[in-house]
């Protein structure tokens, strides 16, 4: 579902969806910066939003729009986050939905809005209004790539995918575009993921599925430990596939759920791998924990440690920093029972360093994708967190004076 061809189809792969991305002059670079995703028919909608107490205006507007379980469109812009913008920010976010609704011929409360970019600056509403109108005018079933490129910021590439499954004898399609990079962390910092499907599903069930899946996918990414003011994940399901509407947790629901989880997992991995300045993609897999929460806490402690992240940047098999981060995670652990592996090779066991094949270990550390296993030996719960290394480039990107 993440092949180049599948990614190209993106959010317009499911029936009845159009998208567009246009240049409105909001990004300083002059690149694409306004996206619209549109469902020709009313769609069931679900959303998960940032838990930051300082949530941006578009988060409030979209939360309200999702409440009745139905929606038609999403308008997103990059270059300005419309966060910490007070009453004017709320007015602007609402007005953006109204502009799009008018152009699309739908109700304003059926339009979700999303923004990403600089905090504390008001939206340039003239530019945005023109951008929304241009995007609506150019909506097409080929518009997913432009829409994907319009929402990225410091991402090195736009994340997208699409896939088809059979549900109740019908072909059901799914698609997605997403952005991530800096500040990515549990609770989805500066992360936008828009998923579309032509499945017919009850909106409450859709929300339940998305909320559950977010816990073990988007909320398990850590790039730098910061959580942004603007994050959201949404799913629009317009029923155009004609499957019998999923209203209970039957076999159809299971296929739907599994497919949505695969999409969210794939997007999460790609978002983590494309963290600012990343040179390594790290999967921290904790097993044998007493509970999922304990496993997650240990995995996050390892994934967030700057010392671990710089060690992997330097291709240094420094298990001491990993076991140290396990030790201060704040959950019970027994050094003698704990095993740490890099790329499947045990590097720490029985309370001390494990003797291992230095050549094989060097090869592991030289790879781009590295799995760090932490076996706690205390129970049967597990958790996986995705992160990246910390490089000079990270400091450069975030140390530059932007304002």
Active centre residues (catalytic): 190
Interface residue with a second copy among 137, 251, 307, 360 (CB under 8 A) is 307
Joined together, the tokens standing for residue 27 give 């990004």
Q: Which x/- pattern, by CB under 8 A, does the window 67-96 give for a second copy?
A: --------------x-xxxx--x-------
List own/partner pairs for 267-270 with CB under 8 A and 24 or more apart.
267/159, 267/161, 267/176, 267/178, 267/193, 267/217, 267/218, 268/217, 268/218, 268/220, 268/221, 268/386, 269/386, 270/2, 270/159, 270/178, 270/180
Q: How far is the CB of 314 from a second copy (least distance, A)?
A: 4
Is 62 among the residues that bind a second copy (CB under 8 A)? no
Q: How far apart are CA 24 and CA 20, in angstroms?
A: 12
Residues making up the annotated binding site for substrate are 153, 179, 190, 276, 398, 403
Over the Cα atoms of the chain, what is R_g? 22
Please say which residue, 257 or 390, places its beta carbon nearer to a second copy. 390
Q: Which stretch binds a second copy (CB under 8 A): 38-46, 133-141, 213-221, 326-334?
A: 326-334
Residues 232-291 interacting with a second copy (rule: CB under 8 A): none
Q: How far is the CB of 310 from a second copy (least distance, A)?
A: 4
Residue span binding a second copy (CB under 8 A) among the ranges 25-33, 48-56, 153-161, 238-246: 48-56
Could you tell me where the DSSP H helices lie in 247-347? 251-273, 292-304, 306-313, 319-327
Query: Distance between CA atoms of 150 and 82, rounded to whole angstroms?
Result: 16
For residue 403, state whether it binds a second copy (rule: CB under 8 A).
Answer: yes
The tokens describing 148, both together, are 């994907």
**Residue partners of 133: CB distance under 8 A and separation at least 6:** 99, 103
CA geometry: angle at 355 spanning 354 and 360, to 5°? 110
Stretch that binds a second copy, among 8-16, 49-57, 92-100, 282-290 (CB under 8 A): 49-57
Closest CA to 156 of 181, 188, 177: 181
Stretch that binds a second copy, among 69-77, 172-180, 301-309, 367-375 (CB under 8 A): 301-309
Q: Residue 80 has what DSSP assignment? A: E
248 versus 400: smaller Cβ distance to a second copy: 400
Q: Shortest Cβ distance from residue 23 to a second copy (Å)?
A: 25
52 sits near a second copy (criterion: CB under 8 A): yes
How far CA 207 is from CA of 47, 63, 104, 157, 263, in Å, comes to 7, 12, 25, 28, 16
Residues that bind a second copy (rule: CB under 8 A) add up to a total of: 65
Element (H, E) at 359: helix 358-366
Establish if 114 lies at the interface with a second copy (CB under 8 A). no
User: Could you say which residues in the range 372-391 bind a second copy, by CB under 8 A?
Assistant: 390-391
Whichever of 194 and 319 has its CB closer to a second copy, that residue is 319
**124, 170, 284, 314, 347 from 241: Cα distances, Å:** 38, 7, 37, 49, 50
* For a second copy, the closer CB: 51 or 247: 51
Nearest to 261 by CA among 163, 185, 184, 368: 163
Among 166, 327, 360, 363, binds a second copy (CB under 8 A): 327
182 binds a second copy, rule: CB under 8 A: yes
Pick 248 or 401: Cβ nearer a second copy: 401
| Residue 326 beta carbon to a second copy: minimum distance, rounded to whole angstroms | 7
Residues contributing to the site for a second copy (CB under 8 A):
51-55, 81, 83-86, 89, 118-120, 182-183, 187, 189, 224-229, 304-307, 310-311, 313-321, 323-328, 332-333, 335, 348, 350-353, 390-392, 394-396, 398-403
């Amino acid at each position: 579902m993440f092949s180049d061809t599948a990614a190209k189809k993106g959010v317009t792969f499911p029936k009845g969806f159009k998208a567009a991305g246009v240049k409105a002059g909001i990004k300083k670079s002059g690149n694409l910066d306004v996206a619209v995703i549109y469902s020709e028919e009313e769609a069931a909608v679900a959303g998960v939003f940032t838990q930051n107490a300082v949530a941006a205006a578009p988060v409030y507007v979209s939360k309200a729009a999702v409440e009745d379980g139905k929606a038609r469109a999403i308008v997103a812009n990059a270059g300005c986050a419309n966060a910490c913008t007070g009453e004017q920010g709320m007015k602007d976010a609402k007005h953006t939905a109204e502009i799009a609704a008018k152009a699309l011929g739908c109700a304003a409360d059926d339009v979700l809005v999303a923004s990403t970019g600089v905090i504390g600056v008001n939206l340039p509403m003239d530019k945005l209004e023109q951008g929304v109108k241009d995007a609506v005018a150019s909506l097409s079933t080929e518009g997913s790539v432009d829409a994907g490129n319009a929402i990225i910021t410091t991402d090195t590439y736009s994340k997208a995918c699409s896939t088809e499954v059979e549900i109740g004898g019908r072909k059901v399609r799914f698609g997605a575009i997403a952005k991530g990079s800096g500040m990515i962390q549990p609770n989805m910092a500066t992360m936008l993921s828009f998923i579309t499907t032509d499945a017919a599903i009850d909106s409450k069930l859709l929300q339940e599925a998305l909320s559950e899946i977010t816990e073990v996918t988007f909320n398990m990414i850590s790039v730098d430990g910061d959580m942004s003011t603007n994050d959201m994940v949404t799913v629009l399901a317009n029923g155009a596939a004609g499957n019998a509407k999923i209203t209970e947790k039957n076999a159809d629901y299971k296929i739907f759920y599994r497919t949505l989880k695969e999409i969210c997992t794939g997007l999460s991995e790609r978002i983590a791998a494309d963290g600012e300045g990343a040179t390594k993609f790290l999967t921290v897999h904790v097993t044998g924990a007493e509970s999922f929460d304990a496993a997650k806490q240990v995995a996050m402690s390892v994934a967030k440690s700057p010392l671990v992240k710089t060690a992997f940047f330097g291709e240094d098999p420094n298990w001491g920093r990993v076991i140290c981060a396990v030790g201060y995670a704040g959950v019970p652990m027994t050094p003698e029972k704990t095993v740490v592996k890099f790329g499947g090779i045990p590097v720490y066991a029985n309370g001390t360093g494990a003797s291992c094949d230095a050549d094989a270990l060097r090869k592991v550390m030289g790879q781009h994708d590295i799995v760090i296993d932490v076996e706690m030996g205390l129970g049967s719960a597990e958790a996986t967190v995705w992160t990246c290394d910390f490089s000079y480039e990270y400091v450069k990107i975030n140390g530059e004076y932007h304002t």
